[in-house]
Chains A and B, each alone.
Chain A
Amino acid sequence: AQSVTQLGSHVSVSEGALVLLRCNYSSSVPPYLFWYVQYPNQGLQLLLKYTSAATLVKGINGFEAEFKKSETSFHLTKPSAHMSDAAEYFCAVSAAGGYNKLIFGAGTRLAVHP
């Protein structure tokens, strides 16, 4: 079965610092991978997705993620954190076996302090 592990339920960074949110997946077939963000009192918004094209994927708001098959990872990064980046971030993988659904990680809450 496919699964997603997000290391660190809470991450805190200073404004202007590098953001690194970790995601590892398990999949028996080449996966599609996604990062979603949830701002307070809002729905899930797609940040970026990997669908077997370029391994370095650029998303909205300056975020990017790199697919590393050898490490089964899809970590999310942003060079310089803004206060507005404070939110919960979810990594997700498409399910194997032809299932048309996403499997989510537990989420990482990002705090940005001045």
Chain B
Amino acid sequence: EPEVTQTPSHQVTQMGQEVILRCVPISNHLYFYWYRQILGQKVEFLVSFYNNEISEKSEIFDDQFSVERPDGSNFTLKIRSTKLEDSAMYFCASSPGTGGLLAGNTIYFGEGSWLTVV
């Protein structure tokens, strides 16, 4: 069964460093997402991406965050200057078809990338 894959599974970085989390969405999907889960807290939406641009973003997704689809398969999340509070599990997700979730499509999640900022 096709799945969303994420790398790395775990990364430790120093505060202030740049981090890139990588994702390969399911191949025929059109909507891509990043969510995060700080330890002990809810899974939170960060951003959705469609047709090579951000379609929605949360208030968490400030100027230190960016997303990119550099080629036909990868979808990346960059954190420019990491802070201690960025430590979290970051989930990439994708959904098929136009309209994404609102069209009744399912969002498929990857296994997550655990980021630890020290």
B-binding residues in A (CB < 8 A): 32, 36, 41-46, 49, 51, 90, 92, 94-95, 98-107
Contacts and interface: CB of A to CB of B under 8 A. Distances in A.
Interface stretch (B12-20, B38-46, B67-75, B78-86): B38-46
Contacts of B31: 100
B56 A104 contact: no
Contacts of A99: 56
A67 to B, nearest CB: 14
Interface residues of B, number: 28
A101 B56 contact: yes
Majority secondary structure, A binding face: loop
Given A42-B111, A44-B109, A90 B43 contact: yes
Q: Which of A32, A43, A90, A104 has the most CB of B within 10 A?
A: A43
26 contacts: A32-B101, A32-B104, A36-B109, A41-B111, A43-B110, A43-B112, A44-B91, A44-B93, A44-B109, A46-B106, A46-B107, A49-B106, A51-B104, A94-B102, A95-B45, A100-B31, A100-B55, A100-B56, A101-B48, A101-B56, A102-B35, A102-B45, A104-B42, A106-B41, A106-B42, A107-B43
